[in-house]
Structure 1
Amino acid sequence: MDLDRLFDLIPYQISHYNKEVAFAKKENGSWKTYSSKDLKEIVDNLSLGLLASGISAGDKVAIVSENRPEWNFVDFALQQIGAVSVPMYPTITTEDYAYIFDHAEVKLIFVGDQTIYAKAAEVAGDRKIFSFDDLVGVESWQTLAQLGESGDLAKLEESKAKIKAGDLFTIIYTSGTTGRPKGVMLTHANILSNVLAVADRMTPPAGVSTALSFLPLCHIYERTGSFCFIYLGFSVYYAESMEKIGENLKEVQPHVFNTVPRLLEKVYDKIVAKGYELSGLKKSLFFWALNLGLAYDPSRDMGKWYDFQLKIANKLIFSKWREALGGNIMQINSGASALQPRLARVFWAAGIRVCEGYGLTETSPVVSASIGSLDGIRIGYVGKVMKDVQVKIASDGEILVKGPNVMSGYYRDPERTAEVLQNGWFHTGDIGELEGDYLRITDRKKEMFKTSGGKYIAPQVMENKFKESPLIEQLMVVGDGKNYPAALVVPNFEGLRDYCRRKEIPYSSDEEMVQKPEIVDKYQSEIDQLNKYFARWEQVKRFRLLDRPWGIESGELTPTMKLKRKVISGKFSKEIEGIYQG
């Protein structure tokens, strides 16, 4: 059958897989599941209910919720009647809610729970709100589905027939590291081209059919990923929360999941912390295996002696890592920011295939992706450019992209659209290099800065390297217009406590520890060790330890855990000034 619109994926899945479990979520301690046929029936009823309630083609409808099957039901139902979904992060501010509702001209709102409802209701005006949870005084999404049960399916088929591949499917507002978020307009054709290209890179072997989902569906990365899972016949289980991912991995035993580097860093740090708790031979074996893994390169022959040692390490140590991830992991897809090369090395050595990709909301999102095979992976690169996508490097190093996955523009913003779409090429704002079909990202164009000596600094590369220290959780390089780079450093407090325990240094509080001279000296030695990887003008000369991590709720990170540099620079302006005055 032809796949022209995203909702065509539902009959496609039924005809090819007819899944007993298409989607699942935890309710009252057990998994509630929906089959492929359940999905079709619910979506059709919901589409008819939306039509009966006055929603029609072109109307904008907001979805503000954590991941759950109802998210997908509404998404598909809107597609079938030509309405345009406006997905939103539940964690953004009420001011951002108000801005997006107004700017996108939202007519109807779906919310997940009471907390989100309270935020949305504050700025919704006279817009109708439906909830996924059963809330007092709020109409449930199920009332719309029930309304549609008596609807005319022939009328729905007429509606679906009018929708073309090039029609607008969604407006996704970017997380806004700089200024107001922009509404990225994506069509069915944009996303479908990406779904088919990604699926080509990760076609699973027979019997591989379970995915765990925990990244926000409102972000294009997980949303396109979920369509890809449907196309490939995966059962999608939604994690209960970020805190319960570990438990859910063991329960669901997935073959694949999408993640961001920050979460892999935390997994790795916890593994290393447990290694330090060991003693004697067990501890020696653990760190022997770890160091062996850190030297691994999947793209080259490591030699018979190395392979023999790795085989032993996999049996004694790395097998436990795989068990912690459920025991069935075929592939982990990492995106949204740069993955530390050392993490890629050690996970591949452990038989955990972490495949890095690159893309943006404006490119639906995948521009390049790694292939989950030893002959297709290159550490330090974000994979090969996708099928039907063209990439070229501009004279200033900026990555330019052309292809069926590139957005049609920013909603109600022709000026900013014209800035980034020129002669058919999308200007990504990222700096990179191409080696054949393999792409490497070096930094963000707007985040690079010059010292007073005229030397360019690429902060992302440096930050990623410094975070290799088990004592550093977060770090931001500063120094625009100054005579040398410096850094704000957030310690990995779990790692710091472990270090203090081993060195028999009494641990009082995080606030007090970052002031202690012996702790500052330790961080100086960590930075000195990693500074050697950079030219003299790039090296961090001074730093300031902070006593609490940066977060999404507190405003320093975007929902995909990228640094909001302007926010951090503003919040910690005194600390930055102190670095250069001291």
Structure 2
Amino acid sequence: MNTVSGIEISVTENGIQPADSESLYSIVSDGARRDPHRALLGCPDGTVLTRAEVDTRVRALAAALAERGVRQGDRVAILGRTSVTWALLDCAVLALGAIVVPIYPTSSPAQIEHILTDSASTAFAAETDDDAVRLLAAGADAVWTFPQLGDWAAVTDAPEPPVAAMLADDLAMLVYTSGTTGLSKGCMITHRNMYTSAANTVRQTGAVFGGRTVLALPLSHVFGQTMLFACLFGGTETYLLPGIPDLVPALARLRPTFLPLIPYGLEKIRKHCRALLAAGAEQETVTRGLELLRRRAAAPPVEPLASAMGGRLRYVISGGASLDDSTAGFYAGAGVVILNCYGLTEAATAVTVSAPETNRLGTVGRPIPGTEVGIAPEDGEVLVRGPHVTPGYWGAASDQRPVDDDGWLHTGDIGELDDGYLRITGRKKEILVTSGGKNVAPTPLEDRVRLHPLVSNCIVLGDGRAYVTALVTLDAERAERWRAEHPDQDPAAAVRTAVDEANALVSRAESIRAFRIVAGDFTIANGLLTSSLKLRRAAIAEAYADDIHQLYVTRA
């Protein structure tokens, strides 16, 4: 670790990079040539495709897309849950030199319309007929469904597709990420960006990717994409499930050796395991695990937890949100080591990843090979530099620059370096990250709720929590008048309409699940607003801690 221009820097050398003429599709084709019979992509029912079969299906699907007009540089919008078909389509679009535009299945109509319009997508795919209707309503002219795409991929006598001659720095994906204005920004991810992140995640974690995994992360999120291409690069036997709710019952059947997960998924598995333990055994497991982590020691698998997780699970790569130490301790005590990682869309997910041999509790690991991580001297902001960093934003956000003149990506997160290990200590930007890893821009929701005549102020909460909530204050004068005019009605019913209108702007994962009308107001005088009338979020959270506690206790 060293210091340059006042910036404390941690660097990991010897990163893997693609050749200038290599694309992400080359990961698939090269793997098929090297080891054609290796099991690669599996379905929930346990059927699995080999590397050669995956390549054959990708090429057949690419040929079908080309026949229907998809060309190099076209944007292809994809709306659906994770599946083998999604993964094949991903690779087929990239093989043609077209650009993948993933859309969350839970996106609102307004969000879908913005993404289609901003990306100028000309081809569209959806998991179901209902999803196709949503795309059509947002402006798509024709939509292919996953069953159709699966049929095209299975054609055995398909013509050779016009696989594009691409450069590593050509655009591969437009991943839309939440912004403080409420309109998502299209982050440009090149073939080099994603290849670098995926390949060096595999290098950093050693033999972890040599086993079997179950991928239930959404491929509409950059973390899911990076893990997919890391598994393709590492030759991992990878079973794809629609989502985390499908994961818990599948563990005993699919028997993974490692899992890529977000904290929400880890919490789901922990709750499932809790029912198998005797009273007090969970806390004993946590205590034992934390002690093992402090000593950097590993425990053998512990029953009945090991069987509940499939019997072979040894590692979890966890990212997307902060992880409570007790959860890390629980898994360590059960014989499963959690490897924390850190990243963001603008760096194709991977910035730091913990390695099995050097895992350190409370950190998110060291930079992946080929990456520099710095700490800005002025405010402690985490800075990132490397070949996985985005060239910028697309469309309406193209005038915004995430990278400074020295090539540093400004993450908006606050952190510190300790012997090269990164520890995240706070967030500079006002974006909430739920325990499920969903980024939520609170300002648009707050602005919409405040439009209601009865509402004086609103703060949206949910950072590190399972869902989003809000505290609402009432305009005292208007509330008194309203109560006189509506003696038999609760003001909460009127505020509910404001919350419903705000929720219509966002997806379910970003929506306000519960709210609470609280006494008093947020003012400059009581220190809950700045002089420019911005919310002092930490001060409000402290002043209304009991109300916030009730919001989450009552729905636990």
Q: TM-score, normalized by length of structure 2? A: 0.73
Equivalent position to 1:366, from 337, 350, 353: 350
Q: Measured at CA, do residues 205 and 554 of structure 1 come closer, stay the same or move farther in structure 2, by a change above 3 Å?
A: same
Say if 2:95 is the partner of 1:61. no
8 Å Cα contact 2:215-2:260 kept in structure 1: yes
Name the aligned partner's letter for residue 260 of structure 2: N
Query: What per-residue deviation string (whole Å, max 9, x for no partner) do you get for residues 15-53 of structure 1?
Result: 333245321223xxx333322222111211222222222
Give CA deviations for 1:205-258 in whole Å, capped at 9, x if unaligned: 79x531101010111111111111111111111125433312211110011111
Q: How does 1:197-208 map to 2 (within 5 A)?
A: 197-204=200-207, 208=210
Match of 2:421 in 1: 438
2:211 aligns with one of 209, 212, 228: 209
**Matched-pair contact (CA < 8 Å) for 1:46–1:144:** yes
CA contact (8 A) 2:503 2:512 kept: no
State the number of aligned residues: 453
Instruction: Work out whether residues 61 and 108 of structure 1, in 8 Å CA contact, stay in contact via their aligned partners in 2.
Output: yes
**2-structure distance, mates of 1:290, 1:557:** 39
The whole-number CA distance in structure 2 between the counterparts of 1:568 and 1:288 is: 32
Say which of 225, 228, 236 aligns to 2:227.
Answer: 225
Report the Cα distance in structure 1 between the residues aligned to 2:504 and 2:217, rounded to whole angstroms.
Answer: 18
Q: Deviations for 1:33-89, whole angstroms, at most 9, x for unmatched residues?
A: 322222111211222222222221111111111111111211111112211110111
Whether 1:128 aligns to 2:122 is no
| Distance in 2 (alpha carbons) for counterparts of 1:574 and 1:415 | 40
CA shift in 2, pair 1:346/1:51, >3 Å:
same
Find out whether 1:345 has 2:347 as its counterpart.
no
**How far apart, in 1, do the equivalents of 2:117 and 2:462 lie?**
38
Partner of 2:380: 397
Of the structure 1 ranges 8-17 and 247-256, higher mean CA displacement relative to structure 2 is found in 8-17
Task: Give the equivalent residue in structure 1 for 2:192.
Answer: 189
Q: Contact conserved, 2:317 with 2:341, CA < 8 A, in 1?
A: yes
Structure 1 residues 326 and 143: alpha-carbon distance in aligned structure 2, compared to 1, 3 A threshold = closer
Show structure 2 runs of 5+ residues with no match. Answer: 1-16, 437-441, 443-458, 467-498, 522-539, 548-556
Amino acid at match of 1:61: V
Relative distance call for 1:7 and 1:446 in structure 2 (3 A) is: same
Tell me how far apart the structure 2 counterparts of residues 253 and 416 of structure 1 sit (CA, whole Å): 47
CA contact (8 A) 1:294 1:343 kept: no
Report which structure shows greater RCO (CA 8 Å, sep ≥6): 2
Counterpart AA for 2:98: A
Q: Does 1:292 align with 2:287?
A: yes
Which residue number in structure 2 is paired with residue 322 of structure 1?
306
Closer, same or farther in 2 for the Cα pair 1:319/1:176, shift >3 Å?
farther
Counterpart CA distance in 2 for 1:554 and 1:324 is 37
8 Å Cα contact 2:136-2:142 kept in structure 1: no
C-alpha contact (below 8 Å) 1:47/1:148 kept by paired residues = no
Give secondary structure in 2 for the equivalent of 1:417.
coil
Once the two structures are superposed, what CA deviation does each residue of 1:177-211 show, in whole Å capped at 9, x if it has no partner? 651110010111111111221011223279x5311
Structure 2 distance, partners of 1:558, 1:176, is 14
In structure 1, list runs of 5 or more residues that go unmatched: 134-139, 303-309, 449-458, 468-475, 477-485, 494-549
CA distance in 1, matches of 2:219, 2:283: 39
Deviations 1:424-456 (A, max 9, x none): 1111011111112100101110239xxxxxxxx
The equivalent position to 2:174 in structure 1, one of 168, 171, 196, is 171
- Partners of 2:507 and 2:320 in 1: CA distance: 11
| Contact preservation (8 Å) 1:184, 1:409 | yes
Question: Which residue among 6, 10, 29 is the counterpart of 2:28?
Answer: 10
CA distance in 1, matches of 2:55, 2:461: 51
CA separation in 1, counterparts of 2:243 and 2:461? Answer: 30
Distance 2:28 2:516 in 1: 52
CA distance in 2: counterparts of 1:177 and 1:186, whole angstroms: 21
Q: 1:407 aligns with which of 378, 390, 404?
A: 390
Structure 1: which amino acid aligns with 2:231?
F
Q: 1:211, 1:257 within 8 Å by CA — same for their partners in 2?
A: yes
Greater mean deviation of Cα atoms: 263-272 or 389-398: 263-272
1:90 shift after superposition: 0.9
Contact 2:54 2:88 in 1 (8 A): yes
The structure carrying a bigger helix percent of its residues is 1
Letter of the 1:128 counterpart? A
Q: What is the DSSP-based 3-state SS (H/G/I as helix, E as strand, rest coil) of the residue aligned with 2:144? A: strand
**Correspondence 1:454-469 to 2 at 5 A:** none
Q: 1:260 to 1:98 in 2, by over 3 A?
A: same
Give, in whole Å, the separation in 2 of the partners of 1:340 and 1:35.
Answer: 38
C-alpha separation between the residues in 2 aligned to 1:150 and 1:292? 57
1:82 lines up with 2:97 in the alignment: yes
Distance 1:241 1:447 in 2: 27
Partner SS, residue 230 of structure 1: helix
Match of 2:12 in 1: none
Please report how far the alpha carbon of residue 263 of structure 1 lies from its aligned counterpart in structure 2 after TM superposition: 2.1
* Matching residue's letter, 1:169: A
| Match of residue 493 from structure 2 | none
Alignment partner, residue 498 of structure 1: none
Which residue identity lines up with residue 387 of structure 2 in the other structure? P
CA distance 1:350–1:86, change in 2 (3 Å):
same
| TM-aligned CA distance change 1:175 to 1:437, over 3 Å | same
CA distance in 1, matches of 2:412, 2:204: 25
Counterpart of 1:44 (choices 50, 56, 59) is: 59
Contact 2:402 2:409 survives alignment (8 Å): no
Give the direction of change, closer, same or farther, for the CA distance of 1:252–1:175 in structure 2 (3 Å limit): farther
The alpha carbon displacement at 1:557 in A equals 9.1
C-alpha contact (below 8 Å) 1:184/1:411 kept by paired residues: yes
Whole-angstrom distance in 1 between the partners of 2:460 and 2:246? 33
Q: Percent identity?
A: 25
Distance 2:392 2:25 in 1: 22
> In the alignment, which residue of structure 2 is the partner of 1:73?
88
* Residues 18 and 196, structure 2, Cα contact 8 Å, conserved in 1: no
2:291 partner SS: coil
Alignment match, 1:24:
42
Q: Is the 8 A contact 1:195 1:224 kept in 2?
A: yes
Q: CA deviation at 1:575?
A: 3.6
Partner of 2:265: 263
How much has 1:289 moved relative to structure 2?
2.9
Q: Secondary structure at the match of 1:128?
A: coil
User: What is the CA distance between 1:170 and its match in structure 2?
Assistant: 0.7
8 Å CA contact retained: 2:305, 2:334 = yes
Query: Which stretch shifts more, 177-186 or 289-298?
Result: 289-298
Q: 1:97 is matched with which residue?
A: 112
Cα distance change on mapping 1:418 and 1:149 into 2, 3 Å: same
